[in-house]
Amino acid sequence: MSQTKVFDTPERALDGLVRDGMTVAVGGFGLCGIPERLILALRDSGVRGLTCVSNNAGVDDWGLGLLLKTRQVRKMVSSYVGENAEFERQFMSGELELEFAPQGTLAERMRAGGAGIAGFYTKTGVGTVVAEGKPHMEFDGETYVLERGIRADLALVKAWRADAAGNLVFRKTARNFNPMAATCGRVTVAEVEELVPVGSIDPDDVHTPGIFVQRVVVTVPEKRIEHRTVSPG
């Protein structure tokens, strides 16, 4: 199997893929399973005017919070943004556009986009601000709201293990949003902890098939803790 999907640095893995104004889907949950080195490379590329689709916006000094700090993000499509003071400041001052999406709805919007589904109806959000301006329809006497599938120009994901063909395995909480983000990107780059030979991953263990992944880069993870809680004394 050719090694053409495998790149030696995050910067080279993003080479030729980034441009101003693009939409980037980013996997992970909190600080778990985020493609931290690819986010750093995206920041260092100097690209601007990004729309970032991610469950959350990182924290002030890590994850997508780094892109907010450098004013490279124009719009966030997110579920949870409560851990980022800079996000709050930019949003409240009108510098940053925000599209809220319920957590399950956001995951399904990514999955639908990757599956070629343009939109779907859900009860989640009906009667709230997230349903304002969206088409509604009744099914079996219940009201549903139309949500659009998401297709991103670029998807950045973090996997535990990959082979040179781009087959990915995620671990535990890192499976939140990463598999869906991987499928909704027109181009997907996977940051991985371990690269193994093709054929050494049992097909039953593959979470994202390599057909969805165009580039792979191995990095050394930095596993930060969002909130450290300890018992007194």
Q: What pTM did the predictor assign?
A: 0.92
Q: How buried is 127 (Cβ within 10 angstroms: 0-12 exposed, 13-18 middle, 19+ buried)?
A: exposed
Alpha carbon distance 140, 106 (integer Å): 24
Please tell me the total number of residues recorded for the chain in this structure.
233
* Cα–Cα distance measured from residue 105 to residue 101, given in angstroms and rounded to the nearest whole number: 6
Question: Domains, the chain, ranges and CATH?
Answer: 6-119+149-218 (3.40.1080.10)
- Is residue 227 helix, strand or coil? coil
For residue 112, give the DSSP letter: H
Cβ atoms < 10 Å from Cβ of 230: 5
Amino acid identity, position 164: A
**Number of helices and strands in the chain (H, E):** 6, 12
pLDDT of 81 reads 78
Three-state SS at 84? coil
Q: Phi, psi (5° rounding) for residue 88?
A: -60, -45
> pLDDT-based confidence at 228, cuts 50/70/90?
low
Asked whether 182 and 188 are in contact (CB, 8 A), the reply is yes
> Which residues 6+ apart lie within 8 Å of 123 measured at CB?
142, 143, 144, 145
Residue with tokens 């902890």: 193
Within 10 angstroms of residue 151's Cβ, the number of other Cβ atoms is 20
Residue-level pLDDT at 2: 44
Q: Report whether pLDDT(83) > 90.
A: no
Element at 103 (helix H, strand E):
helix 103-114
Which band of pLDDT confidence, cut at 50, 70 and 90, is reported for residue 226?
low
What confidence score (pLDDT) does residue 229 get?
73
Inform me whether the pLDDT recorded for 201 exceeds 80.
Answer: yes
Nearest to 45 by CA among 80, 70, 65, 8: 70
Q: Give the number of other Cβ atoms within 10 Å of residue 49's Cβ.
A: 13
pLDDT of residue 95: 93
Beta strand pairing call for 215-218 and 185-196? parallel
Alpha-helix runs per DSSP H in 160-229: 178-184
The burial of 220, by beta-carbon neighbours within 10 Å (0-12 exposed, 13-18 middle, 19 or more buried), is given as: exposed
Q: Nearest to residue 42, comparing CAs of 61, 56, 59, 22?
A: 22
Q: Tens of pLDDT along 114-149?
A: 999 999 999 999 999 999 999 999 999 999 999 999
Overall average pLDDT of the 59-73 stretch? 91
